[in-house]
Amino acid sequence: MAYSPMTARSPDELHRASTPLELFFDLCFVVAIAQAGARLVHSLAEGHPGAGVVGYFFVFFGVWWAWMNFTWFASAYDVDDVPYRIATLVQIAGVLVYAAGVSRAFDDNDWAVAVTGYIIMRVALTAQWLRAAPGERGEARTAALKYAAGLVICQLGWIGLLFVPDDLKRWLFLVLLITELAVPVVAERGHQTPWHAHHIVERYGLFTIIVLGETIAAATVAVKSAIDEHEALDRLLPIAAGGLLIVFAAWWIYFAVPMHQHLTSNREAIPWGYGHLLIFASGAAIGAGIEVAVEHAVAKAHISQVAANAAVMVPTALFLMMVWLLHSRHFKRGLAQQLVLPVSALVTLACIWSGTHAVLWAGLFGVVTVAVGLFLSTRAGAATSAAV
């Protein structure tokens, strides 16, 4: 369709699914995620976890926030006409520019290229909100204009970031981060944009698959490179097998519940959507941790065995806890079901001190976690059926 008036879509629309353009948009974020993960690997392997984690969080926030803003807007206003597609392709160009600036931002605190890419993304999204406003009335129109104004104010702040002294940049970053997070809360006060619950859950699930897929890709490349340079199969195979089991378990656990049934309003959706920053970041960081474990196994990382194990176990435990907090706890009944993921996270952290086979032990325990969860769910279902 060449042109269509931009009006809100129904939140009760049947059979709503992700479009090919949305899938293409998601795919382009793989580049930025890979860049952030690569810098995290370097920092952890060189024994600089503090600087590495902070830099990774800052860079990943930009990736996640740009993706999230597009996703929620598209859920409410995707008309899939030519102007909409062009605006989305401009945002994709901004993603690629942002990815090109990740290493400078991470290593040198130089945000010029990254902010340029970010502004390209956000200018296109601002244009989308300004296009949506005329098709709305009353509070809905006001909400669209608030979004556009909030985006402009934040972008002026990001431009200002480039001109402050280096020692103040990260503090200003935190201020801008809070300001960005406040925009949807302020804009939707009095009016909830008509996002589609099933569509939103699907979009978040697809991005979770992307970060877990990036983990598999990063780990595969790391193991291949190590094998090419060293004959260390006895040390690398347990890491590869354990890493694969961890990712499989993470995927299974994330998609175990019908989350769209819980998202009925912004009261549930905003904390759920914001909390996914830690799910996405930790999911991608698992792959970085596996790379660090591989580098340690072939004596290329300048850290201890415990530190190498922690590079995998900490993001894995964080992923499990956040999935429980945002997903699982809303659908589990009884203490036993509620404790499965928190206990699994604690056991995963304990694997930090389990020596050279820590990744394999964590992977095997991930499989046990899935099996226990299935057993308890099946037993609870059988008890409910018997009661009925």
What percentage of residues in the chain have a pLDDT greater than 90? 57
Spatial contact of 312 and 289, defined as CB atoms under 8 Å apart: yes
Question: How far, in Å, CA of 311 to CA of 344, rounded?
Answer: 17
Name the token pair of 312.
Answer: 């995998």
User: Which are the contacts of 350, defined by CB distance < 8 A and separation ≥ 6?
Assistant: none
Whether the per-residue pLDDT at 150 is higher than 80: the answer is: yes
Question: How far, in Å, CA of 8 to CA of 174, rounded?
Answer: 33
For tokens 């799910």, the residue is: 279
- Model pLDDT for residues 277-325, shown as the tens digit of each residue: 999 999 999 999 998 998 888 888 889 999 999 999 999 999 999 999 9
pTM greater than the 0.85 cutoff: yes
- Model pLDDT for residues 3-49, shown as the tens digit of each residue: 778 888 899 898 888 999 999 999 888 888 888 888 899 899 999 99
Spatial contact of 195 and 257, defined as CB atoms under 8 Å apart: no
Question: How far, in Å, CA of 314 to CA of 336, rounded?
Answer: 24
At 270, the pLDDT band (50, 70, 90 cuts) reads very high
Nearest to 12 by CA among 138, 163, 196: 196
Spatial contact of 233 and 283, defined as CB atoms under 8 Å apart: no
List domains and CATH numbers for the chain: 20-187 (no CATH), 197-382 (1.20.1410)
Half-sphere exposure of 297 (CA within 13 A, CB side): 29
- Model pLDDT for residues 152-211, shown as the tens digit of each residue: 999 999 999 889 888 888 888 899 999 999 999 999 998 899 999 999 999 999 999 999
- Model pLDDT for residues 110-119, shown as the tens digit of each residue: 889 999 999 9
Nearest to 325 by CA among 365, 282, 361: 282
pLDDT for 139: 92
Phi, psi dihedral angles at 378 (to 5 degrees): -65, -45
Q: Radius of gyration of the chain from Cα atoms?
A: 22
The helix or strand, by DSSP H or E, that contains position 375, with its residue range, turns out to be helix 358-387
